[in-house]
Amino acid sequence: MRLKQKLADKFLNLTMDVCVIPSAVVTQAIAAAGSDAVIIDQEHGAIGREALHAMIAATAGTDCAPLVRVVDCSASHVKYALDLGAEGIVFPLVKTAEDVRECVRTLRYPPNGVRGWGPFIAHSRWQTPLMEYLPEHGDNIVCCLLLETAEAVENIEEILTVEGVDFVVIAQFDLSVNLGVPGQLAHPTFVAAVEKLETAVLASGIPLSIGPVQSEQQAKQLLDKGYRILAGFDVLRLKASVASMADWVKGS
């Protein structure tokens, strides 16, 4: 598990891909291509339990961290993903500092949290003896928050004071919907919300992420603003590649 270490290096920029396609082959290809992390999406993706395990396992042998975006922040969903070998959890729809404290507790074993012990599958993913999983990896689980609600914008300063948050993602589309301006990323209400989040997160020193990033120019602009983790989406990359090929062959 190296993602927490990478995130702690403030001079290191990272890439990440959200996987909504239930395919170990897709995940393995992304990991092998050099992505620092994949977010296996059980909140919006068509990914069941068996596919989840296969996709986590497909990152083995690479430097790509398998993270799971859970359906909700309940301890049962978090425990299952971690026990299948996830290196971290992406928490959706957090609204308050208390929400975040509860999220962090689901990642940690007692006495500091509520995670039940049972890494019968995870220990093999991390090539460690079963009884060594907790001492070797228990403190290396990554906590990511999705900033996607008006309440999170309002409470962002307090949210960022919670110990245990490794990075945050501004979820543009969800946030625009929650603010009542769906898909209108240039709307003043949305722009103001993003600016407030950016200012608070960058001041906190917690790594900031956003996606989808669809061009080198866009990537440079975001990195210049202080973003450190830029994300893509497997299905959007696939569609864009196919559309480009069609354009090359058929013309416009």
pTM of the predicted model as reported, rounded to 2 decimal places: 0.95
- Percent of the chain whose pLDDT exceeds 70: 100
CA-atom Rg of the chain in angstroms: 18
Confidence class of residue 127 from pLDDT cuts 50, 70 and 90? very high
Report the C-alpha dihedral over residues 75, 81, 85, 90, rounded to 10 degrees: -90
CA 5 vs CA 139, 167, 213: distances in Å: 11, 12, 24
Report pLDDT digits (tens) over 164-197: 999 999 999 999 999 999 999 999 999 999 999 9
**What span, in angstroms and rounded, lies between the C-alpha atoms of 203 and 181?**
27
**What is the model's pLDDT at position 251?**
80
pLDDT at 141 over 80: yes
Helix, strand, coil shares of the chain, percent, nearest 5, are 45, 15, 40
* Catalytic positions: 44
**What is the model's pLDDT at position 227?**
98
Alpha-carbon dihedral sign for residues 92, 98, 100, 106: negative
- Percent of the chain whose pLDDT exceeds 90: 99
**What is the model's pLDDT at position 252?**
60
Torsion region of 33: left, alpha or beta (phi above 0 gives left; psi -120 to 50 gives alpha): alpha
**Domain span at residue 65?**
3-250
**What is the model's pLDDT at position 104?**
98
- CATH number of the domain within which 155 lies: 3.20.20.60
Look at the chain and report how many structural domains it folds into.
1
Report pLDDT digits (tens) over 70-126: 999 999 999 999 999 999 999 999 999 999 999 999 999 999 999 999 999 999 999
